[in-house]
Amino acid sequence: MSLTLAVYGKGGIGKSTTSANLSAAFALQGAKVLQIGCDPKHDSTFPLTGTLQNTVIDVLTEVDFHIEDVEIDDVVKHGYAGVDTLESGGPPAGSGCGGYVVGETVKLLNEFGLYNKYDVIVFDVLGDVVCGGFSAPLNYADFGVIIACNDFDSIFAANRLCLAIKQKSVRYKVKLAGIIANRVDYEFGGGTNLLEEFASTVGTEIIGKVPYHDLIRRSRLAGKTLFEMEGPDKALCVDPFTEMADYLLNQPRSEVPSPLGDREIFNVIGGW
């Protein structure tokens, strides 16, 4: 078993919440999992560990970038269900490059002979690939996974991510495994019509639907995965993650997407 995912989506859409709960679901199905947070916010792994761990860049800066002075325990922590966690950290604001940070992180893991030891690696990546740097995890991933909801902005970002995956797939093995619909509001009918229209137009599908739910919001604040939370709707929140982990571990359908032009996208989803 070997699966490397790169999770993308517009800012605040729920990438870290989704990544952490997916990582937990993989681990509960017996996989040895590493989650790599690639956002300067470095809160990707918070639901798994309950702490804001030091980033690779913080640790490397402390030892003046002498990798030989780094202990693996300085950067890899252990979280819920045995998931290993790492935060790459971000480049200094206004300078530096996210791709460099991701490259250094993979180099460090290889140095410790760790990179190939995991069954599943989840890269939780910043924003909507606004620069080449933050598309770097696509160089390592088997699959990109896009988080979006049923609104124009997140679908616009999803389309740009499809473009990045298509371009990367020319030189790398990466394909798109699908779109995860987050914040599906069942109190307002649970509509995902725009997202479904978009998915079929670019040649992919929705691989899971996660409800908009207070239990999810609270789990994030509590530094816990959904598996550790209690509440009457727990199954509604947890089951999509268990099902998606199972799907992704068992050779998901994958595509090189056919993204829309920036103007074309208004025609496809603007008429609803």
Question: Which residues are known to be catalytic?
Answer: 10, 15, 41, 128
CB nearer Mg ion, residue 44 or residue 242: 44
Tokens for 29, please give them: 């199905």
Give the nearest distance from C-beta 167 to Mg ion in angstroms. Answer: 23
Nearest Cα to 98, choosing from 124, 67, 69, 68?
A: 124
Judged by CB under 6 A, the residue of 100, 115, 152, 212 near ligand ADP is 212
Judged by CB under 6 A, the residue of 3, 5, 8, 14 near ligand ADP is 14
CA 129/CA 139 separation, integer angstroms: 13
Judged by CB under 6 A, the residue of 55, 85, 135, 182 near ligand ADP is 182
Residue 183 binding: pick among Mg ion, ligand ADP, none (C-beta 5-8 Å cut-off by kind): ligand ADP
Nearest Cα to 17, choosing from 140, 122, 130?
A: 122
Tokens for 247, please give them: 């799907």
Give the nearest distance from C-beta 149 to ligand ADP in angstroms. Answer: 9
Give the nearest distance from C-beta 71 to ligand ADP in angstroms. Answer: 28
CB nearer ligand ADP, residue 60 or residue 145: 145
Cα-atom radius of gyration of the chain, to the nearest Å? 18
CA 8/CA 19 separation, integer angstroms: 10
Residue 220 binding: pick among ligand ADP, Mg ion, none (C-beta 5-8 Å cut-off by kind): ligand ADP
Q: Scan residues 155-174 and list those touching ligand ADP (CB under 6 A).
A: none
Nearest Cα to 121, choosing from 242, 240, 23, 210?
A: 23
Tokens for 229, please give them: 């939370």
CA 54/CA 200 separation, integer angstroms: 40
Give the nearest distance from C-beta 17 to ligand ADP in angstroms. Answer: 3
Q: Does 16 bind Mg ion (CB under 5 A)?
A: yes
Give the nearest distance from C-beta 172 to ligand ADP in angstroms. Answer: 23
Q: Does 210 bind ligand ADP (CB under 6 A)?
A: yes
- 15-28 vs 214-222: helix crossing angle, rounded to 10: 80
Tokens for 193, please give them: 């019509």
Tokens for 154, please give them: 């997140």
Which of the stretches 12-20, 86-94, 130-138, 240-248 binds ligand ADP when contact is defined by CB under 6 A? 12-20
Number of chain positions touching ligand ADP (CB under 6 A)? 16
Inter-CA distances, 196 with 33, 43, 151, Å: 30, 30, 11
Which of the stretches 56-64, 201-209, 216-224, 254-262 binds ligand ADP when contact is defined by CB under 6 A? 216-224
CA 239/CA 210 separation, integer angstroms: 9
Which residues contact ligand ADP (rule: CB under 6 A)? 9, 11-17, 182-183, 210, 212-213, 216-217, 220
